[in-house]
């Protein structure tokens, strides 16, 4: 069973807000005993963990195959809101291989995030 996936971030507050807007629930936003900022976002049963460490810069890959995939409700309404707030859309709304709406955006550190319309 997967516990979490962990990434570096330049701006923990912006990253937690971004994933919160996509349906995540912030479980932690604290400073570790080493002095790093650490945030954890619960997305359904899974978790994303982010560290903001002074002097460390995330270097995510821009290829679509390396991405975080999230089921989100109301993607057709959400995508224009994300775009209007400055989020970069790298692959506009289109049908997924399973026929549901799908799009790709970049998170605040440039990671590809696949947004797939939630069932129901």
Q: Would you kindly state where each structural domain of the chain is located, as residue ranges?
A: 1-56, 60-120
pLDDT for 40: 97
Please tell me the predicted confidence (pLDDT) of residue 94. 95
Q: Using CB atoms within 10 A of its CB, is residue 16 exposed (0-12), middle (13-18) or buried (19+)?
A: buried
For 30-89, the pLDDT digits (tens) are: 999 999 999 999 998 899 999 999 988 888 887 777 899 999 999 999 999 999 999 999
Cβ contacts of residue 117 below 8 Å, gap of 6+? 71, 72, 73, 75, 76, 96, 100, 101, 102
Per-residue pLDDT, averaged over 97-107, amounts to 93
What pLDDT score does 108 carry? 95
Predicted pLDDT of residue 11: 96
Say yes or no to pLDDT of 1 above 70. no
Fold assignment, 1-56:
3.30.720
CB 115 within 8 A of CB 105: yes
Strand-pairing partners, residue 114, are 69, 104
Architecture, CATH, for domain 60-120: Roll (3.10)
pLDDT at 57: 86
């Amino acid at each position: 069973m997967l516990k979490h996936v962990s990434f570096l971030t330049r701006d923990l507050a912006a990253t937690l807000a971004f994933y919160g807007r996509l349906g995540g629930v912030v479980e932690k936003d604290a400073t570790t005993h080493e002095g790093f900022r650490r945030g954890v976002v619960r997305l359904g049963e899974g978790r994303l963990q982010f560290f903001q460490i002074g002097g460390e810069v995330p270097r995510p890959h821009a290829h679509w195959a390396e991405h975080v995939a999230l089921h989100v409700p109301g993607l057709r309404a959400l995508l224009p809101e994300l775009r209007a707030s400055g989020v970069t859309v790298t692959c506009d709304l289109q049908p997924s291989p399973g026929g549901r709406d799908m799009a790709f955006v970049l998170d605040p550190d440039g990671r590809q995030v696949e947004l797939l319309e939630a069932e129901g």
